[in-house]
Structure 1
Amino acid sequence: MMLLTAERTPAGTSYLATGQGQPVVLIHGVGLNKEMWGGQIVGLAPHYRVIAYDMLGHGASPRPATGTDLLGYAEQLRELLEHLHLPQATIIGFSMGGLIARAFALHYPQHTQGLVVLNSVFNRSPEQRAAVIERTRQVAQYGPNANAEAALTRWFSHEYQAANPAQIAALRQTLASNDPEGYLTTYELFATQDMYQVDQLDSIRVPTLISTGELDPGSTPQMAKELAELIPGAQVAVLAEQRHMMPVESPRLVNQVLLDFLNRAQTSENPAKGIVA
């Protein structure tokens, strides 16, 4: 088992780092923390330097100031890279982390070696937007635990939930223990920023992979394909029979997709565009 000790940047960001080689940074989803990446840390660290951190308002990192926007979350990542003396890294963001990864690539292209957006949102339909706004209202009224059971049902297959009750219970506890203000600030951004600087996406000129699960109801294959169309040279990988939390439910499958992309990106400025079923 790989045992890691969390460290902190001068600004208070809590992070884990292991492995050698080109740096890869992992950004978790709203309500979660850096611990969600255990399967990816084990799978990627033999080949890359892997850094996972707690976004603002989550885990052991500080709460975001009131009114913090996506740029503020991207600036947290910039401070982390500066602390680690890393001029560039490949940024891998999951769900809300995918929005932060996109914002980072837009605002800090000089620090972005590659971009991976996993199970993230883009161009929600009116119905999807109304549903997530309603969830935000519930979070504001009842706190981080407001949508936990519905979220777990969306995130995992029934089979995985039944086979891993201890892990599901731990995730339920993680959601419930979030700082209410930090969680709400982050969730409001998650609910409203799926079209963040959409007219600037064609300025992203690094190797890019957009991936989601075939059965992800909130971060759909259509979203992934539409987002990839706006980023020059972006690849799409839709993983068959996978739901939202595919990095946790199917780490070997996700790791293989990530390693294939990362290895190709090492040998090419921009991998050939394509759709992987």
Structure 2
Amino acid sequence: MAESTYSIEGLQTGPWLTLSHPVGSDRTTWAAQVAVLARQYRVLSYDIRGHGHAPSQGSVCSVDDLAADVHRLWQQLGIERSHFVGLSLGGCVGLALAHRHPETVQSLVIANARLEMDTAATQMWLQRAATVEQHGMAPVVEPTLERWLTPAFKALQPTQVAAVRRSLAATSPEGFAACARALADMHQAHRLLDLKIPTLLLAGLSDLAVPRDLMQGYAASNARLQFVELSGPHIVHLENPDGFSRAVLDFLAPR
């Protein structure tokens, strides 16, 4: 394909660390984190299918399919083990990967990810999938920004907001719809119960999409899981980049 679907930065001999983005985003969303994490790790950021430069692979997929994509990429790159940091959809992918291939995931960070959909959430994602298939991405861009970012950030950081808007608008409707359906069918909370991989759950205190209490509840399901809350909304790594990177580094330090 003409454009690469992944980027590798950082120490040639450092431990691998993989970053996985939210639905409607792409790997460039991690720029601030890559700049920090690459000082200690070999950082792989990639585009989820149908996002960024990654082609869509049909209008239906599961979170396990998205995890299989990562595993294939790791195999292509010769990565035997990697830390994994995922936000929202990316966090769901990380849990699926840890469930399917626990020997390959050195540690896991799940940030602001709804791992279990109720009826209302399922219907919401199915409706979004249908909307973008019929009308393109335009109808979901501004409502998504309202859920993702705080009014203060939108007022003070117009350049960053414009970049998020462009990424959303440029997402393939087919790719977005496929991932929206994967989210609609998300029932992974039970996978936390037997998870033995070192795992951190991160919650944004002002997240309108995935409430902080939901993330804390997931963390409480398994005594091995760690929980940290950060100031910021759903896209917490953009509004609180230093806090996000610090939480990840503090968690990874002993690993």
Normalising by the residue count of structure 2, what TM-score does the alignment of the two structures yield?
A: 0.92
The answer on 1:17 being equivalent to 2:8 is yes
Q: Measure how far apart 1:40 and its partner are.
A: 0.5
Contact map agreement 2:137 2:171 (CA 8 A) in 1: yes
Contact 2:117 2:184 in 1 (8 A): no
Separation in 1 of the partners of 2:169 and 2:91?
22
Q: Secondary structure at the match of 1:210?
A: strand
5 Å matches for 1:228-267? Answer: 228-240=219-231, 242-264=232-254, 266=255
Q: Secondary structure at the match of 1:203?
A: coil
The 5 A counterparts of 1:61-76 are 61-76=54-69
Q: What is the aligned residue count?
A: 252
1:161 and 2:137 correspond = no
Q: RMSD of the TM alignment (CA)? A: 1.9
Equivalent residue for 2:168? 175
Deviation at 1:39, TM superposition (A): 0.7
Q: What is the match of residue 142 of structure 2?
A: 149
Q: CA deviation at 1:178?
A: 1.4
Q: Secondary structure in 1 aligned to 2:138?
A: coil
Query: Structure 1 stretches of 5 or more lacking a match?
Result: 1-5, 9-13, 267-277
Partners of 2:222 and 2:133 in 1: how far apart? 34
Match of 1:218 in 2: 209
For structure 2, the residue ranges without an aligned partner over 5 or more in a row are none
Structural mapping, 1:1-277, within 5 Å: 8=4, 14-20=5-11, 21-193=14-186, 195-196=187-188, 198-240=189-231, 242-264=232-254, 266=255
* 8 Å contact from structure 1 (residues 144, 184) kept in 2: no
Q: CA deviation at 1:180?
A: 1.4
The CA deviation at 1:218 is 1.2
Q: Percent identity?
A: 29
Q: For residues 175-210 of structure 1, what are the alpha-carbon distances to aligned partners after superposition, in whole Å with 9 as ceiling and x for unaligned?
A: 1111111111011112331x23x4333232111000
Compared with structure 1, are the counterparts of its residues 109 and 247 closer, same or farther at alpha carbon in structure 2 (3 Å cutoff)?
Answer: same
Per the TM alignment, residue 143 of structure 1 is displaced from its structure 2 partner at its CA by 2.0
CA deviation vs aligned residue, 1:200-249 (integer Å, no higher than 9, x gap): 33232111000011110111112211222334511111113x10111011
Please tell me the residue identity of whatever aligns with 1:64: Q
Checking the alignment, whether the CA contact within 8 Å between 2:125 and 2:181 is kept in structure 1 is no
* CA distance in structure 1 between the aligned counterparts of 2:3 and 2:124, rounded to whole angstroms: 37
- How far apart are 1:135 and its partner, in Å? 3.1
- 1:112-141 per-residue CA deviation (whole Å, 9 max, x = no partner) reads 110100111133455444444433332333
Structure 2: how far apart are the matches of 1:161 and 1:56?
28
Contact 2:130 2:177 in 1 (8 A): no
Helix, strand or coil at the partner of 2:193: helix
Indicate the structure whose relative CO is greater, using CA pairs within 8 Å and at least 6 residues apart.
2
